[in-house]
Amino acid sequence: MVLLGYVVNFRIGPKSQNPKECILYFPGYDDHSKASRLIGRKVAWPAGERTHRGIIVATHGERGHVRARFRKGLPGHALGTMVEIIG
């Protein structure tokens, strides 16, 4: 079973943006308790021949969003695209 999600936004602060951390949403994980089961899972964002890999590190808010930290920062056109859980 492949679990697909969406890149919602980068993690941002009042003065800076962190491209290595993204906020992801997985349909079906609509609250904090369900989304907390995803912590520690590995995710991948396909980029042609290569893939950007990351790990889910925390939940974000009460609506089921999670934060993922990627090894390399995602490009700006990654917003709104699909990611998949690989591990």
pLDDT values of the chain reduced to their tens digit, one per residue, 87 residues: 678 999 999 998 899 988 899 999 999 999 999 999 999 999 999 988 889 999 999 999 999 999 999 999 899 999 999 999 997
SS (H, E, C) 42-77: EEEEEECCEEEEEEEEEEECCCCEEEEEECCCCCHH
- In the numeric block, which tokens belong to residue 77? 């056109």
Tokens 């679990």, residue? 3
How far is CA 76 from its chain centroid?
14
pTM (predicted TM-score)? 0.91
